[in-house]
Amino acid sequence: MAARHENDPSSIVSILRIVSVHPKLVQPQRVLTLSNLDRQCPKLMHLVFFYNNLPHQTLKDLSLNSVFSNLKSGLEETLTLWYPGAGRLRPNQSDGKLNLWCSNQGAVLAEAETPLKISQLGNLSEYNEFFEKLVYEPACDGNFSNMPLIVAQVTKFGCGGYSIGIGTSHSLFDGPATYDFLYAWASNSEIVKRRRNGELPKPVHERGILQISNSSLNAQKGRAMAIDHLYQLIMQATSGQKGFPMQIGVGGGLSNQNKCVLKTYHLSGVMIDDLKRKHFSMQRGSIPFSTFEVLAAHLWKARTKALGVRKEKLVCLQFAVDIRSKMIPSLPNGFSGNAYVLASIMMSVGELEQASHESIIEKIREAKNNVNHGYVKAYIDALEGPQASSLPPLKELTLVSDWTRMPFHNIEFFHGKATSACPLATPIPQVAYFMQSPIDNFGVDVRIGLEAETLSAFTQGFLSRG
């Protein structure tokens, strides 16, 4: 979409009303103790859903008022089970650590409209600054404990289509839990009446085994390679400097970072198959490589080359691993907290250039298999102490998060899937997100933040499948 001036009437989004939404059945107030994984990133993560493929009769029968009312009543019902979403974060007075006060203060829902047509936004999978106007930003008075943990805005476009922009605190839910919450909310809203199959997910909010004291698990602890590798990268970056100016804040965000361009690459199922055939021999009886493994290896090579890191430097690939089944005992079904840690592999740039995709994937699998109960506890222990957020971006560090098992575009707030579910800028924009394509069941959309001067080189290397 062409850049629009702030005074251009067609770019105006008018907020019509803002309401607080509380659980339909009020829950007793209580403090929910968070794990160190929850405390790493308390910021809101935003997604914008677009629905511009509604049947003509549906559009005639809908009004913005009825959509807003149904979303509000559906959220009230959903918050009865997902009641922490109506609470607030606040620090523990004894140690300053963030916990969740289940206070029933409410989520926030806004109603808005714009004369703009959704078709004027262009490719909905590509980040657009206009999307920022489609999510509600609560006023910040400097008191972190007053910030709502769930915010949403429904906007009606001039064409009759809708967007729903939703922000959820990462301290509240991780990706799978966010998906379950949104699925439940969409099901409870019934903007368009339809039959639902199966029961709605029932959340488990207690953090349980992720809070077990360190002293009781010393014998079970392993090493968190992701933390060790991150320290090595920082030591490499600061070698030759006086002092140690950088602090580690794993997942806490980055400061002093250059402006990133958010770019989405669509890899069709055919392109992914071509990539696999080019780099991997598929002998009978061999274990097939997953799409995630293939794309992660390919992206690491392409990004490192595009950034021009010197051959003698160490570079690292880190990727999120779901630990729900890794713990002893396993986390319960419906666990709603953060249940991901980073796995990691490291080598020099020279080694990475010479390594085959197949050998990199073997290292990815090894790192993934090393994530066990002891690894998780060591990882959580490493996050103890004051949280820092002053780690500048490291071009030697490539971060990947797999969202393909969370197809957010399948959330049916209206009848049918969303045309697109686009994430906005995240606390660490350099992370590469692998998302299921809404237009190709076997395709993957890769969203990554890149500095403008490296965009062309990365695009050429990544799409060349070389």
Look at residue 268 in the predicted model and tell me its pLDDT: 93
Choose the weakest-confidence range: 136-145, 201-210, 345-354.
Answer: 136-145
Residue type, position 311, single letter: K
Separation in Å, CA 10 to CA 157, 272, 411? 10, 39, 28
Look at residue 3 in the predicted model and tell me its pLDDT: 42
Percent of the chain exceeding pLDDT 90 equals 68
Q: What is the mean pLDDT of residues 227-249?
A: 71
- 30 — pLDDT class (breaks 50, 70, 90): very high
- 143 — pLDDT class (breaks 50, 70, 90): confident
198 or 156: whose pLDDT is higher?
Answer: 156
Q: What is the mean pLDDT of residues 65-94?
A: 94
Look at residue 259 in the predicted model and tell me its pLDDT: 77
Statement: residue 224 has pLDDT above 50: yes
Phi, psi of 278 (to 5 degrees): -70, -35
Statement: residue 454 has pLDDT above 90: yes
What region does 80 belong to: left with phi over 0, alpha with psi -120 to 50, or beta?
Answer: alpha
- 214 — pLDDT class (breaks 50, 70, 90): very low
Active site (catalytic) residues: 170
Look at residue 60 in the predicted model and tell me its pLDDT: 63
Nearest to 72 by CA among 202, 169, 190: 190
Q: For strand 397-402 and strand 340-348, is the pairing parallel, antiparallel, or unpaired?
A: unpaired
| Cα–Cα distance measured from residue 78 to residue 184, given in angstroms and rounded to the nearest whole number | 6
Q: For strand 88-91 and strand 432-436, is the pairing parallel, antiparallel, or unpaired?
A: unpaired
- 218 — pLDDT class (breaks 50, 70, 90): very low
Statement: residue 48 has pLDDT above 60: yes
Phi, psi of 298 (to 5 degrees): -65, -45
Residue with tokens 């090579």: 301
User: CB within 8 A of 75, min separation 6: which ones?
Assistant: 21, 107, 109, 152, 185, 188, 189
Q: What is the mean pLDDT of residues 236-262?
A: 56
Statement: residue 183 has pLDDT above 80: yes
- 201 — pLDDT class (breaks 50, 70, 90): confident
Statement: residue 447 has pLDDT above 70: yes
Phi, psi of 20 (to 5 degrees): -90, 140
Look at residue 177 in the predicted model and tell me its pLDDT: 96
In total, the chain counts a number of residues equal to: 466
- 285 — pLDDT class (breaks 50, 70, 90): very low
Q: For strand 107-113 and strand 150-156, is the pairing parallel, antiparallel, or unpaired?
A: parallel
Choose the weakest-confidence range: 11-15, 95-99, 287-291, 459-463.
Answer: 287-291
| Cα–Cα distance measured from residue 110 to residue 14, given in angstroms and rounded to the nearest whole number | 10
Q: What is the mean pLDDT of residues 330-345?
A: 96
| Cα–Cα distance measured from residue 178 to residue 403, given in angstroms and rounded to the nearest whole number | 12
Q: What is the mean pLDDT of residues 198-205?
A: 83
Choose the weakest-confidence range: 46-60, 76-90, 143-157, 327-341.
Answer: 46-60
Statement: residue 352 has pLDDT above 70: yes
Residue with tokens 């476009």: 157
Statement: residue 304 has pLDDT above 90: yes
**Two structure tokens written together for 262:** 């958010």
Segment (H or E) for 412: none
Phi, psi of 14 (to 5 degrees): -100, 125
End-to-end CA distance of the chain: 31
DSSP state of 383: T
Look at residue 150 in the predicted model and tell me its pLDDT: 98
Calculate the average pLDDT of the chain: 86
Choose the weakest-confidence range: 89-103, 389-403, 433-447.
Answer: 389-403
